[in-house]
Amino acid sequence: MRSLKEDASTSTDQLTHLARRADEALDLIAAVKGLHGLTSQQLSKLIRDSGNNILQHSTEDGLLVQIDVEKFARNLPAHLISVVMAWEREKSTFKYLLCGILLLHSMCDLASRVPKIEQILLDDVKVSEQLIDLVFYLLIVLASDRQEHQVPNDMILLHSALVACSLKLLTVIISPQWQEVAQVLTAYYKIDVFMEAAFTAVCKDIKFLQTKLSAQSAESSGNITPTNEETLNHLCQQCESSLKFLHSLCQQKLLRERIVKNKVFSLNTCFSFFSWIKLFEIVIFAL
Tell me the C-alpha distance between 64 and 30, whole Å.
10
Tell me the C-alpha distance between 26 and 61, whole Å.
13
Nearest to 46 by CA among 30, 66, 63, 21: 66
For residue 11, count other CB atoms closer than 10 A to its CB: 10
Check residue 172 and give its pLDDT.
92
Yes or no: say if 65 and 34 are a contact pair by the CB < 8 Å rule. Answer: yes
Check residue 77 and give its pLDDT.
94
Q: Is the pTM of this model over 0.85?
A: no
Per-residue pLDDT of the chain (287 residues; tens, 9 = 90+): 445 445 444 444 443 333 344 445 657 888 888 888 788 888 888 888 877 778 876 666 676 767 888 889 999 999 999 999 988 778 889 999 999 999 999 999 888 888 888 899 888 989 999 999 999 999 999 998 554 445 566 788 999 999 999 999 999 999 999 999 999 988 876 788 888 889 889 988 888 888 777 777 666 555 556 567 788 888 889 998 998 998 898 888 888 787 777 665 554 555 455 555 554 554 444 44
Check residue 96 and give its pLDDT.
93
Cα–Cα–Cα angle for 23, 28, 34, rounded to 5 degrees = 125
Residues in the chain: 287
Helices (H), 86-155: 91-110, 115-118, 125-143
Check residue 95 and give its pLDDT.
92
Yes or no: say if 98 and 84 are a contact pair by the CB < 8 Å rule. Answer: no
Contacts 24+ apart (CB under 8 A), 34-40: 34/58, 34/59, 34/65, 34/67, 35/67, 35/103, 36/99, 36/100, 36/102, 36/103, 36/106, 38/106, 39/106, 40/106, 40/107, 40/109, 40/110, 40/113
Check residue 14 and give its pLDDT.
42
Yes or no: say if 279 and 210 are a contact pair by the CB < 8 Å rule. Answer: yes
